[in-house]
């Protein structure tokens, strides 16, 4: 199996963290090209034009980070990264989704709508120009404030995002916070639980995946 | 188990379609209140302030539509709505995610940023005002055009969104198109495969769930 990757991007990193935690070794194919764009031969191969993408030995393709993680969890169940029973799986899924929708998406709203290199690329996966929306960048900043505080409250009572076990929800939340830092937005000083968790996760080898 | 529901909203409907297809009968608790807002007692119970939410008999809460569906799929595996093996599950997950991110989110961008009743409520789940962004409504319209065409291409070669089997990806895509219609945006005339599928799904009893 091959994982098509853009090493610098936040979505592929959450999948690489997942792989590192499980000790899964895949062929990694870097597909970033000139001008911070995906390589044309990759877009021809995978018109969805996003990373990461998992290619099976017979050529079948699986896109979307969590679809890739769930597929690999079925093939390599240990250590469990999606929960150990039906209820835990639901809670991991719920918090992973919140980390993505409220953290990763908000960080993306700020970055995609302000970075000079993405001036006509307000959304990923589009061949046509998508103008930046300054008001959306501003809204993204405010959403990140809510995200930090919501996750700080959750981590006041739990070692990890979805409870006592490290899970893919931690990978997504961690990569969202790294992504926010691209726009010089950091964890607020009063979010001490989130900061404790962020340092804890950052010390894991998978944080450098 | 109880499902907290807002009957008119698109996200709870995709879960109700899922329940109807499986023949699962849950207690449905309607939580819409005055002024198209969630009831205050529901927000106190569930500060995430979104619908749907599944409450287990012991009071534990599961939010996020797909986390709810995955949990119920484990309890009631038949008929399978998330795929029958690891690869099918990945493909259903991938297409469900695209239906949500590219269809439901785009329809929400249009509706939330134009409807008078949502003037200070550009995002769900916020207690503080979130001003509407007219440019985001416009971008949502364009994204819906891409969504219709991408799914039309997929349905040119497949009976259902994720292949030959009806799945939760169909529920999300169907509810996204219903949601787009709230803003008077319909399937383009040349998307004949999507139109064929939409009529086919609309004829299922679950479409009136």
| Cross-strand pairs, A32 | A38
What distance in Å separates residue A98's CA from the closest CA in chain B? 8
Note the pLDDT of residue B141. Answer: 97
Q: Give the CATH fold of the B86-208 domain.
A: Glutathione S-transferase Yfyf (Class Pi); Chain A, domain 2 (1.20.1050)
How far, in Å, CA of A162 to CA of A183, rounded? 26
Give me the residue from A94, A122, A126 closest to B67, CB to CB.
Answer: A94
Q: Does A136 touch chain B (CB under 8 A)?
A: yes
For the CA atoms of B94, A114, A187, B128, the dihedral, rounded to the nearest 10 degrees, stands at -80
ipTM: 0.96
Note the pLDDT of residue A176. Answer: 98
Residue with the bigger pLDDT between A92 and A119: it is A92
Task: List, for chain B, all residue ranges whose pLDDT scores fall below the cut of 70.
Answer: none
Note the pLDDT of residue A26. Answer: 97
Q: Does A84 touch chain B (CB under 8 A)?
A: no
Q: Is the dihedral of CA B180, B181, B182, B183 positive or negative?
A: positive
Q: Give the CATH fold of the A2-75 domain.
A: Glutaredoxin (3.40.30)
How far, in Å, CA of A185 to CA of A134, rounded? 16
**Closest-approach residue (CA) in chain B for A65:** B94
pLDDT band for A127, please (50, 70, 90 cuts). confident
Cβ pair B98:A130 closer than 8 A: no
Note the pLDDT of residue B186. Answer: 98
pLDDT digit string, tens, across residues A145-200: 999 999 999 999 999 999 999 999 999 999 999 999 999 999 999 999 999 999 99
State the DSSP H helix or E strand holding residue B112, giving kind and residue range, or none if neither: helix B105-112
**Closest-approach residue (CA) in chain A for B53:** A94
Note the pLDDT of residue B35. Answer: 86
- Mean pLDDT, residues A47-54: 96
What distance in Å separates residue A122's CA from the closest CA in chain B? 10
Note the pLDDT of residue A35. Answer: 85
| Cross-strand pairs, A62 | A54
Backbone angles phi, psi at B189, to 5 degrees: -60, -35
Angle between helical axes of A105-112 and A134-156 (0-180°, round to 10): 150
Nearest to A175 by CA among A53, A7, A27, A4: A7
How far, in Å, CA of B206 to CA of B187, rounded? 21
Nearest to B140 by CA among B170, B99, B91, B107: B107
Cβ pair A74:B97 closer than 8 A: no
CB A22 within 8 A of CB A81: yes
Give me the residue from B75, B90, B133 closest to A139, CB to CB.
Answer: B133
How far, in Å, CA of A55 to CA of B127, rounded? 43
pLDDT digit string, tens, across residues A68-113: 999 999 999 999 999 999 999 999 999 999 999 999 999 999 999 9
Note the pLDDT of residue A184. Answer: 97
* Contacts A–B by Cβ distance under 8 A: 87
Query: Scanning the structure block, which residue is given the tokens 């962020």?
Result: A198
Tell which B residues from 147 to 176 touch A, by Cβ distance under 8 Å. none
Q: What percent of chain B has pLDDT over 90?
A: 93
Note the pLDDT of residue A73. Answer: 98
Q: Does B127 touch chain A (CB under 8 A)?
A: no
What distance in Å separates residue B207's CA from the closest CA in chain A? 25
DSSP A92-121: HHHHHHHIIIIIIHHHHHHHHTT-GGGTTB
Domain A2-75 and domain A86-208, same fold? Reply is no
Which residues of chain B have a CB within 8 Å of the CB of A63?
94
pLDDT at A39 over 90: yes
Note the pLDDT of residue B127. Answer: 86
Which residues of chain B have a CB within 8 Å of the CB of A62?
87, 90-91, 94
CB A57 within 8 A of CB A1: yes
Q: Which two tokens stand for residue A42?
A: 């990759």
What are the Cα distances from residue A7, in Å, to A50, A208, B68?
Answer: 13, 11, 33
Which residues of chain B have a CB within 8 Å of the CB of A89?
70-71, 74
In chain B, domain spans: 2-75, 86-208
């Amino acid at each position: 199996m091959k994982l098509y990757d853009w090493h610098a991007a936040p979505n592929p990193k959450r999948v690489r963290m997942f792989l590192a935690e499980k000790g899964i070794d895949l062929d990694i194919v870097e597909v970033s090209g000139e001008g911070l764009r995906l390589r044309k031969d990759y877009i021809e191969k995978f018109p969805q034009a996003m990373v990461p993408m998992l290619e099976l030995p017979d050529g079948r393709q699986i896109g979307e980070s969590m679809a890739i993680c769930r597929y690999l969890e079925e093939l390599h169940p240990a250590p469990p990264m999606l929960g150990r029973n039906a209820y835990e799986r639901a809670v991991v899924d719920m918090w992973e989704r919140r980390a993505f929708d409220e953290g990763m998406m908000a960080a993306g709203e700020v970055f995609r709508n302000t970075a000079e290199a993405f001036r006509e690329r307000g959304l990923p996966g589009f061949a046509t120009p998508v103008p930046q929306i300054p008001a959306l960048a501003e809204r993204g900043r405010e959403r990140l404030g809510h995200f930090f505080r919501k996750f700080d409250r959750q981590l006041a009572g739990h070692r990890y995002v979805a409870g006592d076990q490290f899970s893919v929800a931690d990978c997504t939340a961690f990569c969202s916070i790294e992504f926010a830092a691209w726009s010089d937005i950091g964890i607020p000083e009063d979010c001490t639980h989130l900061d404790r968790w962020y340092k804890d996760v950052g010390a894991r080898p998978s944080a450098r995946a």
